[in-house]
Structure 1
Amino acid sequence: MSADMDQSPRSLLVCDRSSFLDEKNRISSQVEQQHFNYKVSVLLPECSSTPSHLDSVFSSFSSFYLIRKLPIYELLDKHFLETSVYQGNVYGLSYGTRVDEDNCIALMPDGRLCLSLDKDSFQLLGVEGKPSRFNHRSKSRYVVSVDLTDSSMASGGRGYLRLLSGLTTRLPLKTDFLLSHHPGGGASLQPLLSRYDWSEHRPEISRHALANLSCPALLTSDLQSCDPHSLLEWLGAVDADISCENSSSSFLSSFVCPEPKTTLSQALSVSICGLLLPEDIHRLIHEIRCYLEQPRPESWVSLTVHGFVDSPVSWGGSEHGVLKGGENFYTLLMFHNHTYRLHLATGAHSTCPP
């Protein structure tokens, strides 16, 4: 057996507890800093169907576009910069690329363009960058980060022309690309879309009704004494529809519900997948808080947001890498009294959550 298989990959977990009523709570900043989300999962205890106001929020998540074989130099198009990038809140991510093997690109809502490149591609591009934080024995990967809104990157400027020349002649990168603009940015994206093969997509919603679900009793009492790793494992098993009712002799799964535990007669797991924008997640959190204000048998709801495994960035503009896992997600446990528990997790090859 390989030595690497003898141990589990290192992971990072940051936990926070506070109240939405506290002006210094950091929920808004955390949601905004996770730019590229592919899945949101919500667990509603003692619920059989999605409440109408929550259902309307899920259905109104922003659509996104998939552009086939987009030349990356198109992101420097003058009209695209003026009508989309300079206006803010454009989200773009290379699709089907692996951040530990391929060239990966991200366009962030603050106008920064991030290119995670292998050594040969970086040298061909001829633009200033820095070695990846997650190089192993040699400098085999480099990161180029450019602020497209900076005066030095103005159309026709020296920095702009150098990057444009690199992407058109020395390194003509093409990749499938996910693109979205909030709010309702389809019109401003049309000139770019019209030049290539593209398709519009709505996030996919799935619902799974659960019966007689084992649940940590501590969710309704003293969560502080509940091990966060065990709690997150349980939530992940519920989302993946993996049974936690396992005996010691079971070889199928070792997941168990943390003790002490209780049983929910019913629960509803709702997931939405796609290129999911922080603005839509903000609205969902707000509606869940309204939902919790109503009298109900259980006084909590969990929400988990998963970042793209192969995004070149994770929290804010910090570098993200993949070796064994590539996790970058956060789980928010919300309670009826406006308190919350926030868990932020990443794999070993990602910057520690703020």
Structure 2
Amino acid sequence: MLPAQLARAPRHLLVCERGHARHPRSRHAAHVRDHAYSCRVSFLIPECGMLPEVLKSTIADIGEYYLVRNLPLHELVAHEFIDAFVKKGSCYALTYKTRIDQDNTAALLPNGKLILSVDKDTYEELGLQGHPSRYSGKKVMRYIITIDLTDAGFHPESKKHNRVLWALKEKKPLEFDFLLAWHNTGAEGSTLMSYFSKNQIQALKPKITFSTLRDLQCPVLQSNDLQGKPEESCSTEELFEWLGAVLNQVSFCYFGEPKLAYWLTLTVHGFADSPVSWRESEHGFHKGGENLYNFVIFRNLDYWLQMAVGAHDDCPP
């Protein structure tokens, strides 16, 4: 019988699949695009004494993102903003230092969907159409509102646009600190820094650190076998547990004999308090807010993809 603490442990989901990066039906690029909000990216390259130049240059050229303080939410539904950024590239916005289980939060996806996760009082004051959060419990205390900024009916003179603008600007003004990023399609025009020049805006660069892990004993993996074989190779679940210990600098002896590792990993953690995880799937915090994915990439370009979420999430796609 399980101890009481383990019996009450929250549900966690780990979805694993394998593929080949050059297969015409490979979904690796789609999975990356569909997970819009990433706060930490980690590479683990076994048997690597010096970082490859191509990876160094890619990391160095990762670009900037922005922190805008006290930004009224209605500015994101203004057609000047939509025309300049939402329709001319991929625009990302996420409320900064808000708690998904306690505060009002907002996120703008690169597909032009604005997602609001608000408490019951705010929802009733706004008067916009939405639906109860899937993780509110029996007594609904949180609602989700989705506004499609690229919808053909959301033009400047439409009733829909005027209704949303009035709700966010006059009826229930909401203001947040926002993290913003924009990847344009080559068109010339405004930049986020110039557009929000009258606001308190700050350009930020991702913090980059390198570390060398000496005497790290890596598992044996067979690219065509997710299940692994006892005493021969590790399963995808065992690899995921081992990698978690490595990334958290937990000292633990998993393997008795060192083996050469012909693979590398790319691990991406999502924001714990983002309103969504993959695509537009609602994300909740519960015990930890985890939503992450990990690629194990082999020399022959086979890969394993591991996607993990907590109790308040849909199954990853």
Q: TM-score, normalised by structure 1?
A: 0.82
Q: Residue 106 of structure 2 corresponds to which residue in structure 1?
A: 105
Name the structure 1 match of 2:314: 351
Are residues 1:213 and 2:213 paired? no
Q: What's the counterpart of residue 250 of structure 1?
A: none
One-letter identity of the residue aligned with 1:54: L
Matched, 1:139 2:140: yes
Alignment partner, residue 233 of structure 1 = 241
* Amino acid in structure 1 at the alignment position of 2:68: I
**1:157 offset after TM fit, Å?**
1.1
Q: Which moved more, 1:329-338 or 1:18-27?
A: 18-27
Q: Which residue of 1 aligns with 2:280?
A: 317
Structure 1 counterpart SS, 2:281? coil
> In 2, are the aligned partners of 1:215 and 1:262 still within 8 Å (CA)?
no
Contact 1:92–1:179 at 8 Å: present in 2 too? yes
Mapping of 1:84-99 within 5 angstroms? 84-99=85-100
AA partner of residue 215 (structure 1): C
Is 1:202 aligned with 2:165? no
The 1:82/1:221 distance shift into structure 2, 3 A limit, reads: closer
Q: Which residue of 1 aligns with 2:297?
A: 334
2:307 is paired with a residue of what secondary structure? strand
CA distance in 1, matches of 2:59, 2:209: 10
* Larger proportion of helix: 1
Where in structure 2 are there 5+ consecutive unaligned residues? 229-233
**Cα deviation digits, residues 254-284 of structure 1 (max 9, x gap):** xxx2x5x5426xxxxxxxxxxxxxxxxxxxx
SS of the residue corresponding to residue 163 of structure 1 reads: helix
Amino acid at match of 1:238: V
Q: Does the aligned pair in 2 maintain the 1:104–1:117 contact within 8 Å?
A: yes
Deviation per CA, 1:34-64: give whole Å up to 9, x if none. 0011111100101123211101111111210
Task: Give yes or no for contact 1:92–1:106 (8 Å, CA) kept in 2.
Answer: yes
Identity %: 41
Partner of 1:277: none
When normalised by structure 2's length, the TM-score is 0.91
Residue 286 of structure 2: SS of its match in structure 1?
A: coil
**Structure 2 letter corresponding to 1:244:** F
Q: Distance in 2 between matches of 1:120 and 1:308?
A: 25
Quick check: 2:193–2:201 contact (8 Å CA) kept in 1? no
Distance 1:211-1:149 versus aligned 2 partners, 3 A rule: same
Amino acid in the other structure paired with 2:240: L
| SS of residue paired to 2:208 | strand
How far apart in 1 are the matches of 2:204 and 2:93? 14
User: CA 1:299–1:5 in 2, change beyond 3 Å: closer, same or farther?
Assistant: closer
Flag the 1:114–1:61 CA change in 2: closer, same or farther, 3 A: same
State the 1:87 CA deviation.
1.6
Q: 1:263: which partner in 2? A: 258
Aligned position for 2:83: 82
Paired residue type of 2:281 = S
Moved more, 40-49 or 228-237: 228-237
- Give, as a single letter, the amino acid of the residue that structure 1 aligns with 2:203: E
- Secondary structure of the corresponding residue to residue 306 of structure 2: strand
Partner of 1:243: 251
The residue matched to 2:199 in structure 1 has which SS?
A: coil
Q: Are residues 229 and 298 of structure 1, via their aligned partners in 2, closer, same or farther at CA, if it must alter by over 3 Å?
A: closer
Cα contact 2:223–2:303 (8 A) shared by 1: no
* Cα contact 1:88–1:110 (8 A) shared by 2: no
Runs of 4+ in 1 over 6 A off after TM superposition: none
In structure 1, give the amino acid aligned to 2:16: C
Give CA-to-partner distance per residue, 1:10-47, whole Å, 9 cap, x none. Answer: 01111101111221111011011000111111001011
